[in-house]
Structure 1
Amino acid sequence: MNRPWPLIQRQLEFETLKSALTSDTGACGVVLTGDAGVGKTTLARVATQSLPGDVRWVAGTESARSIPLGVFAHLVGSSTSRDPVAFLSAAREALLGAGGPVVIGVDDAHLLDQLSATFLHQLAIDRAAHIVATVRSGESTPDAVTSLWKDGHLMRLELSPFTRDQSVTLIESVLGGPLEGLSAKLMWEASGGNALFLHHLVEGALEAGTLRERRGVWQLRGRAAITPELASLLEDRIEHLPADVMRVLELLTFCEPLALDTLSDLAGEEAVEDAEQRGLIQIVEDGPKAEVRYNHPMFSEVVRRRVGRAAARRLRGNLVEALRTHPITGPGDRIRLAELALDSDQTPDVDLLVTAAKDAIAFANVPLGERLAKAAVDRDGGFRAANLLARSQLWQGHAADAEAALNRFDPDTLDESQLVRWGVTRIANLFWSAGDAETAEAVLEEVRQRVQNPAAVAVVRGIGATCAVAENRLSEGLAEAEAVLAEPNPTPWSEEMGTFAASMALAVVGRGSEVAALTARADAAMTKVDGLTRYPAAIGPILALTLTGQFDAAARRAQTYLDHAATTGQYLGWGQANILYAIVDVARGRFAETVRRLEQAMAALTVGDTGSAIGWVFPAYPILAQAYSVLGRTADAKSVVAAAEGRYGRHVAVFGPMFEIGKAWEAAGQGETSRAIATACGAADAARESGQFAIEALALHLATRLGDASTAPRLAELAERCDGPMVRLAAAQAAAFADGDGSELARIAREFEEIGALLDAADASAQSAVAYSTADRRREALDAAATANALAERCDHASTPAVLEAARPLPLTSREREVASMVAVGLSNREIADRLVVSVRTVEGHIYRACTKLDVADRGELAESLRDRH
């Protein structure tokens, strides 16, 4: 790879260094200290390149360390006396004899011989030149160099590793596109923020194909690879290590972290202590438990490259034998032992593989669960292994593979317990992964007819309730879910499904305050079955909090899912957690953050090159459509709506009204307010028909914000049946808008702002400005318009029809304004006529009158005028 690597600006350090190298007072230069590869030399050379005077660079090396005045010898000449005093005098004359300001740069000053260090010290004492020197942290350094900063002759500047933000900026500038947040975390942790390590890690991952672009987002998938060049540099640290210390590193490479006592048994206590003293490993204590880790993750990759395949299998076998002698204390121990055994010279135990696969899936590590389950299937692990394999595959969108794994079994040959597991897994795969609700319904009915055990019946009712809610059969789904949860001793499976269905149904029907009671039960259930279920199941609780105006609580809850996903390092959970957080972001008006989250989340959850039918991705589409629209990215909003159309179906029907709201925002972004209002009202009708009263209120509130003055009566009814202040405020806004009450609209805007619904507040303020203007209260109108604009700026400069009208009032009718807005976004007269269902001549008439009122010459100037106002 030959990608250019730009300099990440360390502006403060750069200015400090440059000032010290040009000032005639205080210290006459700087000693830059820091770890190898942190960027000391790069910063020093960039700073000296900007100086007007002569810059003379030398570099300390191991080979020149034994030669007196070694790094400066080329300045003295071969005929000079060997006398040290004459040496120093000749070097001084060579450096300073020409007169004028001189800057001396010394790279790796810790490697200077004593005479060179003394010479540099004398120059600093005499202020004969400005000096910049780099010193590697942790290295033995000549006293003369150390005294440069201890005695105040030079300033000491510690160069820290890059922050995470600096690392991301660097990587994205090289890749030319955004880096996935989870990948950024993993790469920053692996590199430690070290510029050199980061460079080679990116290049190595690109070369290995583990760093790839998907839907415009760069993702790291698989182990962090490093280049041969970096491996060669790091090998210098381990090349001459004693064999017993190398064994410590080799064992740790294949099992990190590793219990201290286990590692000591395998490699010897003295070897472990030696490795720790050399700074290669660290011991982390957690109560009575002590674990060993590498001090830097990169060294693990270097050691791994040195170990052959046969040796690696033998080392893993040694670890397996050692770990088997210790009691297995939890799922983590089982997973580790199974994974090691699978790649070792030991024979893996099939029961261990099956149990570990189940544990991995419960921990949301479904790729590992798939690997372990497949290994068990290949070793005749039977139905349990095949079912686990299918469960791991369905979460990754591999619906056909999951179906194939389950179709090997005839349900007539399964006992009732197996039949329920077979049925639940098939239904989940068909419904959410394949998007085939019809076949899923047939399987559900087949299993329902066969089971009799009360616990099994409850599980089947639970999955049936979840499907019913997803299909927008809310009354049926909620009744079934509540019946399942009312059972005296529900199984984790039935409790998982019941809380999943009930929380989603309660949120959208407007009973959000009842969801909190389900939250603790849901959290407990999700840790016992499939760990990834926790993310789609959290949509209901987080929607309930946002729809009832509890944005801070919603953000805290969403953050717990994001933290969990980042801790486990699993991109599937991370992608879904970002969808959860985007629900809160869009409600708060954080649209740029919404776009960033969802673009990365959808890239992470994309299956293959054609997208995914996975049901739990669908909620991202309407949210992203709104965010794109208010940010003026109308083409992107249209593309998202089109993509969602192709993925909509019975399996995500519960999100249908929300999707229609997203379409309304897309129409509003295009300037088509008539279509936007009609679409919002259509969304409200669909929501009302299915009992989604909270979503109906959301749709009617949008219609109000777009200019529909007929929504107040129905919103008043919904305010009586929906929890929280959001619907009450929407109803109050609709009434005030219909009455043209500017003062009431301004009060409502303040309440929305206090809750944190900033774009809602902006639209209410904008409508207040128009109402004040209509009443000829110009000062209040200007104040309200300024408030609306300020609130919209806090929403990443969001633009809505109401805000635009308040900020730039036009002497146009509503239809003239709509036609002019459609001209501004580039639609032809024919396209406008088709969308408004009027004749082209009618459109031309509206354009002519708009041009006359705005004193512009033609259609082009009208469009430009509107764009300037936007």
Structure 2
Amino acid sequence: MGDRRWQLLDRPVESTAVHGALTRTGAGGVVLVGAAGVGKTTLARFVTERLTVPVRWAACTESSQAIPLGAFAPWVAPSASRDPIALLSSARENLVAQPDTVIGVDDAHLLDKLSATMLHQIAVDRGARIVATVRNGEAVPDAVTSLWKDGYLERIELQPLSKTQCVTLVETVLGGTLEGLSADVMWESTGGNPLYLRNMVEGAVEAGALTEINGVWQLRGPTAVPSGLVALLDERLARAGEQVLDALKMLALYEPLEIGVLTELVGEDAVDAAEIAGLITIDKDDSPFRARFSHPLLGEVVRQRIGTVNASSRRSRIVAALRDQDLSTAANRIRMARLCVDSDQPIDNDLLITASKDAVALSNLPLGERLARAAMARGGGLPAAELLSRALLWQGRPQEAEEILAAFDPDQLDQLQLVQWGVPRAGLLFWSLGEVERGHELLALVDSRVELPVLRLIVDAARAAMAVHEARVTEGIEAAERVLEDPQSPRQAIDFAAFAAGLAMPVAGRGADFGPIAERSRQQQKTTDGMIRVMVRYGDVLAATMIGDIELAQQHAAEYSEFSSAGQFLGWAIARIAVGVVATYRGRFREAITAFEQALAALNAETSLPWQLPARLLLVRAYATLGDVEEAERVLNEADEHLGAHLALHEPQRMIARAWLAAAQQAKHPAITMARKAADAARSTGQYALEAEALHFATRFGDRTAGSRLSSLSGRIQGPVAQIYARHAAAFANSDADALALVSVQFEDAGLLLAAADAAAQAVPLHERAGQRKPAALAATRARGLAKSCDGATTLAIVAASKPLPITAREREITAHIARGRSNREIAEHLNVSIRTVEGHIYRACQKLDVADREELARLIWGEGTPADETDNEDGAENGAENE
């Protein structure tokens, strides 16, 4: 990660402005103003390195500030006298000895008085052009300030990098993709400051917190602030004084702090001084007002200045000041629990357990683990153990999770404890360890000992989820619905039942029925497990997708993708899978690949998490559709690590993935055979929507036999899409080109663009066999345009229809000019041929394609869009002569 790689990011707008200020006639130069580390020097040197004139750079420091002409000492002749005027003259003469010189001054706010005077004189006299950098918040010599105030130099306020620029810069340096959640954390932590960003990235790599998984870089756990950044921020802290540092140390241990509490702890003067120094900000949108660090990394540096004993003492003082704080919010409970864990104050174990529940409910699993461990160490018993086990499980550490729960004797537990212990342990054995029989046996044990109806509902919900995963879909849905309809059902039972229904109803053809269940989950303010809620949201997106409401699916996928902490990586990963599902159905295959690959990297753990399976199976389809057979094969092979009765629900999807891989290899009959096997497997397990989808894939691969079966299915599958599938199959079986064209439009209206492309492509050979050249060309053009909007996807139908149009290269070129609105005369002049030649080409092309005029010809070949100028060429005369 050398310096040069961190300087690769250009800021085009700012670079152009600086370049203009240094080269434009009459311009005197520019002053770049901004925070420390925002990239002022990097930008200035980036521009000046590309100039063809001499550049003289002076770097100012605090030590040079104490020496007259200290910044420009290298240009003072050794023979110069000690007279200030003679020194100034000597430096200036040497600086501007060559014409058109540019003078660069880094940290011009540190110029000594004589240097500032000389720089001002050069600017006034236009003796040279100047580029200077000035740090925000610093005292600046009057002579420097007047450079922009009096209009001698332009002043450009350099802003932090945008989030997109931050991601581009980091990915350039790392040479790989940066995980979206990690990008969010870096952006929020560094505020777009390039220097902070660089130090954070290098520190994280060095500490092993930023690592690469399958080409995706992801940030996990705390990151150490490197010494270089500590030194930079230490300068600001040293100038602030001990009183301000006292306030910052308090804030570093508990942020944000109410102004009243912080004032009580350190005094008004310290708080005011910290705000004036720009080290803290007061959030006036909150009531009461709260204090925060002006930059997140300041807190990290301040914490490094606090020793263990001092930190414990300070935490105790904060705890005492917050004794009466309102703990009705999860955020306050979590912050108080973290504070108490590290202080020498007694702590309420109920607070620790509740805060751990909050963290798990918010999908922040590492934090939930930490607080649950603290609760267990203080005698938290089964409630703490269950939370700890769940946090470990969701992080891909099921063996540790099992050991925690295995330590309890079920004979010593009451009915409530049996459910608290047995249901999560049975789920752990079933889903994560693949010990299906042991999972069922444990759930049966709990069932046999629990009599209270409200607790039995939790057991029933867990059994429903297991049934769904074992592909007993109808049974699972019925059990889940009974739980959801029972007014006695507690939150845990509702969560589990909604999870089961969310995976089963969409594939069973009841996606619309799941909508109200998902809405109930969205409205429910409290949840027992944030990860279960994330999974329910995934089901919501899947349901909308399967019924063909792609816009609603897209909206929900976007809503569910908001995460704020690196500790929420698993929830973020499942939300990314939902994004990938929608992108796959919309035909945005590159977006889908990015979403799935990032999700899979985030799901990488000590024990492979089962949620990798649905992501991988859809990823195979995305790669195969783009013709990347090698990557599709790789992912399909990786999916084989997830096999067993506990994942039987996904077996039809595995067959569909194999069918798409065969299609990508242009193996038509194996693709059709595998798609039909997938349909049979789906039907046998009650996955009727998936059966219809598999039959439709077979139709798109070239199967003419699926029509009657799809027609019978369409009546039992909710949403309009199954009916379009049936119409497509009927049109293809009947060789009805007009019906295929209508179906293509219906698919496009539904947002299923690749299906629309396939329907249009299948009409092409039908028109050709009927000698209908114009309709064939129109259908081919439509198929190509839709495929292009799907990232250039290739399917069996598109390949079969991709025969070139019966026109010459010159005829195609002329139609491109027509599509761009040029007259025959303009085309002739552009190609250096006669108008009659152009007219002749147009006439012959119209005859070949059976169209009436030039405009219709252009639309037929290029669609409704305007072709790029790539058809233009400079050897038109030669080509024209050849064609004539």
Same fold (TM over 0.5): yes
Q: Structure 1's 459 and 310: CA in aligned 2 closer, same or farther, altered over 3 A?
A: same
What's 1:691 paired with? 686
The alpha carbon displacement at 1:42 in A equals 1.5
What is the distance in 2 between the residues matched to 1:257 and 1:224?
20
What's 2:583 paired with? 585
Give the AA of the match of 2:576: N
Q: Structure 1's 810 and 412: CA in aligned 2 closer, same or farther, altered over 3 A?
A: farther
The alpha carbon displacement at 1:595 in A equals 1.1
Give the AA of the match of 2:640: E
**Secondary structure of the structure 2 residue equivalent to 1:618:** helix
What is the distance in 2 between the residues matched to 1:774 and 1:265?
88
What's 1:845 paired with? none
Equivalent residues of 1:417, 1:456 under 8 A apart: yes
What is the distance in 1 between the residues matched to 2:123 and 2:746?
65
Equivalent residues of 2:100, 2:128 under 8 A apart: yes
What's 1:183 paired with? 182
What is the distance in 2 between the residues matched to 1:80 and 1:749?
86
Q: For residues 233-286 of structure 1, what are the alpha-carbon distances to aligned partners after superposition, in whole Å with 9 as ceiling and x for unaligned?
A: 210111243323112111111211222222222222221121111110111134
What is the distance in 2 between the residues matched to 1:462 and 1:211?
39
What's 1:131 paired with? 130
What is the distance in 1 between the residues matched to 2:290 and 2:589?
43
What's 2:795 paired with? 800
What's 2:247 paired with? 248
Compare 85-94 and 131-140 and name the one that shifted more. 85-94
Give the AA of the match of 2:259: L
State whether structure 2 residue 619 is matched by structure 1 residue 624: yes
Compare 615-624 and 702-711 and name the one that shifted more. 615-624
Q: How does 1:736-775 map to 2 (within 5 A)?
A: 736-775=731-770
The alpha carbon displacement at 1:809 in A equals 6.8
The alpha carbon displacement at 1:87 in A equals 4.3
Equivalent residues of 2:349, 2:375 under 8 A apart: yes
What is the distance in 2 between the residues matched to 1:523 and 1:427?
27
What's 1:266 paired with? 265
Q: 2:572 aligns with which of 568, 571, 574?
A: 574
Q: Structure 1's 550 and 84: CA in aligned 2 closer, same or farther, altered over 3 A?
A: same
The alpha carbon displacement at 1:431 in A equals 2.0
Give the AA of the match of 1:15: T
Equivalent residues of 1:177, 1:218 under 8 A apart: yes
Equivalent residues of 1:187, 1:224 under 8 A apart: no
Q: For residues 526-548 of structure 1, what are the alpha-carbon distances to aligned partners after superposition, in whole Å with 9 as ceiling and x for unaligned?
A: 83201111122223221110111
Equivalent residues of 1:21, 1:130 under 8 A apart: yes
The alpha carbon displacement at 1:461 in A equals 1.0
State whether structure 2 residue 20 is matched by structure 1 residue 19: yes
What is the distance in 2 between the residues matched to 1:319 and 1:656?
55
Give the AA of the match of 1:33: V
Equivalent residues of 1:357, 1:369 under 8 A apart: yes
What is the distance in 2 between the residues matched to 1:444 and 1:671?
48
State whether structure 2 residue 405 is matched by structure 1 residue 410: no
Q: Structure 1's 18 and 247: CA in aligned 2 closer, same or farther, altered over 3 A?
A: same
Q: How does 1:233-632 map to 2 (within 5 A)?
A: 233-525=232-524, 527-563=526-562, 565-566=563-564, 570-608=568-606, 612=608, 614-632=609-627
Equivalent residues of 1:496, 1:526 under 8 A apart: no
**Secondary structure of the structure 1 residue equivalent to 2:283:** strand
Q: Structure 1's 235 and 650: CA in aligned 2 closer, same or farther, altered over 3 A?
A: same
What's 1:867 paired with? none
Q: Structure 1's 287 and 75: CA in aligned 2 closer, same or farther, altered over 3 A?
A: closer
What is the distance in 2 between the residues matched to 1:96 and 1:607?
62
State whether structure 2 residue 786 is matched by structure 1 residue 791: yes
What is the distance in 1 between the residues matched to 2:683 and 2:54?
79
Give the AA of the match of 2:309: A
Q: For residues 431-458 of structure 1, what are the alpha-carbon distances to aligned partners after superposition, in whole Å with 9 as ceiling and x for unaligned?
A: 2222322221111222112211110111
Equivalent residues of 1:69, 1:113 under 8 A apart: yes
Equivalent residues of 2:216, 2:601 under 8 A apart: yes
Show structure 2 runs of 5+ residues with no match: 807-884
Q: For residues 261-317 of structure 1, what are the alpha-carbon distances to aligned partners after superposition, in whole Å with 9 as ceiling and x for unaligned?
A: 222222222211211111101111344232211101111111122222222222222
**Secondary structure of the structure 1 residue equivalent to 2:72:** helix
What's 2:208 paired with? 209
What is the distance in 1 between the residues matched to 2:455 and 2:279?
53
What is the distance in 2 between the residues matched to 1:810 and 1:71?
71
Equivalent residues of 2:457, 2:493 under 8 A apart: yes
Equivalent residues of 2:512, 2:718 under 8 A apart: yes
Equivalent residues of 1:363, 1:527 under 8 A apart: no
Give the AA of the match of 1:570: Q
Q: Structure 1's 61 and 635: CA in aligned 2 closer, same or farther, altered over 3 A?
A: same
Equivalent residues of 1:6, 1:173 under 8 A apart: no
Equivalent residues of 2:60, 2:111 under 8 A apart: yes
What's 1:51 paired with? 51
State whether structure 2 residue 700 is matched by structure 1 residue 705: yes
Give the AA of the match of 1:372: L
Q: For residues 720-767 of structure 1, what are the alpha-carbon distances to aligned partners after superposition, in whole Å with 9 as ceiling and x for unaligned?
A: 221222111111111111222222222221221222111111111211
What's 2:38 paired with? 38
What is the distance in 2 between the residues matched to 1:224 and 1:213?
15
The alpha carbon displacement at 1:10 in A equals 1.3
Aligned-pair RMSD on alpha carbons? Answer: 2.1
What's 1:852 paired with? none
The alpha carbon displacement at 1:420 in A equals 1.2
**Secondary structure of the structure 1 residue equivalent to 2:745:** helix
Give the AA of the match of 2:798: V
Q: Structure 1's 149 and 243: CA in aligned 2 closer, same or farther, altered over 3 A?
A: closer
Q: How does 1:140-159 map to 2 (within 5 A)?
A: 140-159=139-158
What is the distance in 2 between the residues matched to 1:495 and 1:231?
49
The alpha carbon displacement at 1:616 in A equals 3.1
Equivalent residues of 1:395, 1:433 under 8 A apart: no
What is the distance in 2 between the residues matched to 1:71 and 1:500?
68
The alpha carbon displacement at 1:577 in A equals 0.9
What is the distance in 1 between the residues matched to 2:181 and 2:169?
16
Q: Structure 1's 275 and 141: CA in aligned 2 closer, same or farther, altered over 3 A?
A: same
Q: For residues 57-116 of structure 1, what are the alpha-carbon distances to aligned partners after superposition, in whole Å with 9 as ceiling and x for unaligned?
A: 11233333344433234423354455555444433322334x432111111122223333
What's 2:776 paired with? 781
The alpha carbon displacement at 1:523 in A equals 2.6
What's 1:660 paired with? 655
What's 2:8 paired with? 7
Show structure 1 runs of 5+ residues with no match: 812-870
Q: Structure 1's 58 and 482: CA in aligned 2 closer, same or farther, altered over 3 A?
A: same
The alpha carbon displacement at 1:425 in A equals 0.8
What is the distance in 1 between the residues matched to 2:547 and 2:213?
36
Q: For residues 174-216 of structure 1, what are the alpha-carbon distances to aligned partners after superposition, in whole Å with 9 as ceiling and x for unaligned?
A: 2221111111111122111111111111111111111112232
Aligned residues: 805
What is the distance in 2 between the residues matched to 1:161 and 1:545?
39
What is the distance in 2 between the residues matched to 1:595 and 1:581?
10
User: Normalization by structure 2: what TM-score?
Assistant: 0.88
What is the distance in 1 between the residues matched to 2:227 and 2:706?
67
**Secondary structure of the structure 1 residue equivalent to 2:561:** helix
Give the AA of the match of 2:654: F
**Secondary structure of the structure 2 residue equivalent to 1:446:** helix
What is the distance in 1 between the residues matched to 2:91 and 2:485?
90
Q: Structure 1's 486 and 95: CA in aligned 2 closer, same or farther, altered over 3 A?
A: closer
What is the distance in 2 between the residues matched to 1:244 and 1:274?
8
Equivalent residues of 2:496, 2:532 under 8 A apart: no
| Aligned-residue identity in percent | 48
